[in-house]
Structure formats: structure tokens, C-alpha cells
Structure 1
Amino acid sequence: MSNQTDAGPCQSCGACCAYSSNWPRFTIEEDEALDLIPSALVNERLSGMRCEGDRCCALDGEIARAVACRIYAIRPEVCRTCMPGDAECAMARRKFGLPVLT
């Protein structure tokens, strides 16, 4: 696994994208922004991202090794606000037995 202090700790983690099927929800997005997300990646209730179990379907790769978001440029606000080392990041990393970022 890469050094967690490098410029891209998220690309070697992905825990926040696989923490809970309720997490990748839509909140303050404008309709125009939501329309950019491929419909195959939106859940049946149109309330958030489609998940397989707790994992967002837009996440490619292996948790704690190498991951990427297929819709990174147009990802929902909840994804944009989760920052490396914040409370949400720490909670997600703990679920996967990963050390909390400092």
C-alpha cells in the first residue's frame, strides 16, 4: 500500500465509498448536476448512488490498495465533502481496519 501521507491517500483507500449504502446520498445537488450521473449508477429511489452491499457502484478497484471513482468529476456533494482525515474518513477507515489519517 502506498504511503498515506502522499498527495493522494484516497486513491489508495476507498473506505468512504464502501462504508454504507446510505452514505452516497444526494442532498444539495441541483437537478442539472444529478442529470449528469449515469442512471445506471443511481439507486431505485433516486435518492443516491446505487450500491452493491455497502459499496458504491461507481468505485473501481480494491479497498486499501488502489481505487478510483468512475464519476469523480461529477460525484455527489457527500463525496466531495468527505476529506482525508476528517471524522467521516476516520469512521470509514476503522470499519476496514485501516489506521486513521492524521
Structure 2
Amino acid sequence: MSKVSACLTCGACCAFYRVSFYWGEATGAPAGYVPSELTEIFHPHLLCMQGTNQAQPRCVALEGEIGKHVGCRIYQNRPSPCREFVAGDEIANPYCDKARANYGLAALIPVKEVA
């Protein structure tokens, strides 16, 4: 049985946290995959997604309305923090809950699959 990820309707984490990662993940590096033109320098060894290093962050790659319907226009090439972030409907994630609360969205309840 498959389920639709809550991330397709949420997007709160993409507009709440800074998304910083090692520069080698960007396309300017030999094995990079994150589009360099969507990043900015955060630290000598770290980049961040444009739009996420400000008082009211919103990733430049986030499309749609938070809490309604969203998508990432670079999903297949997203940086490691985005790949590692787990929605609260998969496992309990207080960071997901905090971002959702900022937008007036209820915390997600982890769904346990029955074998």
C-alpha cells in the first residue's frame, strides 16, 4: 500500500530552516548535483540554498503554497539536508513539527505500516 507524502502538501521546512551543505554537492564541483546557480556561499566550505539564509527563509527551489500544495523544482538534485530530512508522518520529527507550527499546521502523526 502506498501513501502520498505529507511533504507534497506541506513545504514548511523549506521555508523555515537554512539549508546549508558542503560545497562539493554543487554542480561547480566534479561530482556535484545541486544547481550552483541556486546556491550562495555561507561559509568557506559550505553553501546554502538561496533564500534560506535570511530572517524569513524560503528556499528558491520551493514552488507552491505552504500547507496547500508544494513541490521542489530540483527534487532529484536536492542537497543532503533535504534528502535526510524526514517528514513527521514517517517518524516522529520535532523539527518537522516546529516548522509546521510556524505556519499554523498541526504536527503530523507517524504512520506505522502493518506487515
TM-score bracket, shorter-length normalisation: 0.7 to 0.9
Task: Within 5 Å, give how 1:62-77 maps onto structure 2.
Answer: 62-77=65-80
Judge conservation of contact 2:49–2:60 (CA < 8 Å) in 1: yes
More strand by proportion, 1 or 2? 2
Aligned mate of 1:91, from 95, 98, 103: 98
- Once superposed, what is the RMSD of the aligned Cα atoms? 1.8
Q: Give the number of aligned pairs.
A: 92
Structure 2 gap segments, 5+ residues each: 28-32, 110-115
Structure ID, larger Rg = 2
Rounded to whole Å, the distance in 2 between the matches of 1:59 and 1:87 is 21
Structure 1 window deviating more from structure 2 (76-85 vs 43-52): it is: 43-52
The sequence identity of aligned pairs, in percent, is 39
Query: Which structure has the highest helix share of the two?
Result: 1
The alignment's TM-score, normalised by the length of structure 2, stands at: 0.71
Structure 1 residue runs of 4 or more that deviate by more than 6 Å after TM superposition: none
Deviations 1:75-100 (A, max 9, x none): 11111121111121111001101000
Structure 1 residue runs of 5 or longer lacking an equivalent are 1-5
Per the normalisation by structure 1, the TM-score is 0.79
CA contact (8 A) 2:35 2:77 kept: no
Counterpart-to-counterpart distance in 1, 2:41 and 2:51:
10
Three-state SS of the structure 1 residue aligned to 2:97 is helix
Work out which of the residue numbers 9, 15, 18 in structure 2 matches 1:18.
15
